[in-house]
Amino acid sequence: MTQLILASSSPFRKMILDKLNLEYKAISPDIDETQLDAESPIHYVARLAQAKAQALQADHPDALIIGSDQTAVINGEIIGKPGGYGNAFKQLSDASGQKISFFTGLTLLNGLTGQFETDVIPFHVHFRTLTPLMIEHYLLTEQPYNCAGSFKSEGLGIALFEKLEGDDPNTLIGLPLIRLIRMLENQGINVI
């Protein structure tokens, strides 16, 4: 079987990929993740997913390389990882009663042929109306400061939501498995 590589240092993406029971290596790509001027969220995550996979191609020319990147958008603006309590509090306050759209770019690169498939998978989160006390309690409990949108849907963050919309709940955490399985099958790798 061809070597499979996840171009990521994200523990969340590794946790999701582990569900498929495939052998793989996780290697962190070194790329510039700066958004280009006037770049749409969809183009941005597609470009970064491709760049992450391509960054590892030279060192792993016989591998299938998975690249993925995610961004969150509220009211047309990209919101990133908060990095700390203050930014996280503001993000969740802004999200209260709103819909946040997550766009996850996914690339599967065949290092041998140089061919790749890229897709962007949307997922939408409708937030409950959140009080400052609810936000404070959540942030102090879960401390989701390295998560886009300031929550962990796989944990207590689920209590912040009114409704989720999307084809694959793994997309919200950062790796759309349903789409990845189809990409892998296109390369001759069957999960089941």
Residues ≥6 apart with Cβ < 8 Å to 192: none
Closest CA to 148 of 96, 74, 44, 76: 74
Q: What is the DSSP letter of 106?
A: E
Looking at residue 28, its amino acid is: S
Beta strands in the chain (DSSP E): 4-7, 25-27, 64-74, 77-79, 99-110, 116-127, 161-165
Closest CA to 25 of 8, 39, 43, 38: 8
Residues ≥6 apart with Cβ < 8 Å to 97: 127, 128, 129, 130
The yes-or-no answer on residue 69 being catalytic is yes
Alpha carbon 19 to chain centroid, angstroms: 16
Catalytic, out of 18, 62, 69, 167: 69
Cβ–Cβ contacts within 10 Å for residue 156, how many? 14
Question: How many residues are given for the chain?
Answer: 192
Active-site positions? 69
